[in-house]
Amino acid sequence: MTGRAVTSLSNPTVKAVRALHLRKERDETGLFVAEGLKNVIEGVDTGHAPTILLYGRDAADHPLLRKAAQATAAAGGEVIEVTQDILAKVSRRDNPQAVVGVFQQVFRPLDTLEPLAAPCWVALHRVRDPGNLGTIVRTADAAGCGGVILVGECCDPYSVEAVRATMGSIFAVPLTRASESEFAAWREAWPGSVVGTLLSAPIDHRSADYRKPALILMGNEQQGLPPEMAALCDVNVKIPMRGRADSLNLSVATGIMIYAATA
């Protein structure tokens, strides 16, 4: 397979892809970077063709790269062979992936979600860590959740760090953004149970009534659920701490809650 070859870091397309490490640039363009042939193919297989496909010479003959290149070209995108140095600069890694794709971000409007389409959904209030967010998206995908709703000012699910942590699930799990007031109004019509986590809650997470579809509401890494968000829940539960640690990592706690709700 051959694509247009670029060897200069000052090439406008290369500079544009490198700039997508900045949230400001991602917000303005609506684009994001996914690294690695596996992730790119995950995008293609779920109907998301790259707008730009960069690849190194070592990957040029891979049949899956040809598949990705055909999808990119069919959608009017660019397919470019680049040097190892360019891949390293674009990825900000010394040992970069041989394939990098640029994709359109997708956020589903809150009022278009169909709660009955899945047994469990996840809402995250002001999540701050992109690694946690990406891992939660991956877990939601694995458990068959309907989507992840980002409530309030959250970190960017399309940052390079978050996308890496999703391991391709960024393309499979619907993402939605909402303000606290929008979420509160929308939640009123939720047909199942809304379950939050609080260390002070009297109910063990294993004994709660998860009426499907269950909506799991999680607070952020530092403060957990604030009172006004906990008040939106039908029930608040706790995950018991049996050792010296007084809390769990957010992505671990969310995974426990997802699987409790879908058991």
Domain match, 246 and 216 both: yes
pLDDT tens per residue across span 178-212: 999 999 999 999 999 999 999 889 999 999 989 99
Number of domains within the chain: 2
Domain match, 114 and 66 both: no
User: What percentage of residues in the chain have a pLDDT greater than 90?
Assistant: 88
Domain match, 209 and 230 both: yes
Residue 115, pLDDT above cutoff 90: yes
Domain match, 157 and 203 both: yes
Domain match, 99 and 129 both: no
Residue 210 to residues 81, 123, 237, 240, 241, Cα–Cα distance (Å): 51, 15, 11, 18, 21
| Contacts for 103 with CB less than 8 Å, ≥ 6 apart | 31, 32, 33, 34, 43, 48, 50, 51, 171
Cis preceding linkage at 174, omega within 30: no
pLDDT tens per residue across span 148-166: 999 999 999 999 999 999 9
Domain range holding 228? 110-261
- The mean predicted confidence, pLDDT, of the chain is 95
Is the Cβ–Cβ distance between 257 and 216 less than 8 Å?
yes
| Contacts for 212 with CB less than 8 Å, ≥ 6 apart | 119, 120, 192, 261
Single out the residue in 104, 129, 158 at which a domain terminates.
Answer: 104
DSSP 110: G
Residue 34, pLDDT above cutoff 70: yes
Query: In angstroms, how far is the first alpha carbon of the chain from the final one?
Result: 47
Single out the residue in 53, 77, 104 at which a domain terminates.
Answer: 104
Which residue matches tokens 């999703």?
166
pLDDT classification of 253: cutoffs 50, 70, 90? very high
Domain match, 9 and 87 both: yes
Domain match, 122 and 230 both: yes
Residue 1, pLDDT above cutoff 80: no
**Pairing between β-strand 31-35 and β-strand 99-104 as defined by DSSP bridges:** antiparallel
Domain match, 119 and 84 both: no
| pTM across the whole model | 0.95
**Domain with 39 in it: what CATH number?**
3.30.1330.30
Domain match, 163 and 39 both: no
From 13-17, 199-203, 253-257, the region with the lowest mean pLDDT: 199-203
Domain match, 71 and 172 both: no
Domain match, 114 and 99 both: no
**Domain with 254 in it: what CATH number?**
3.40.1280.10
pLDDT classification of 93: cutoffs 50, 70, 90? confident
Domain match, 64 and 145 both: no
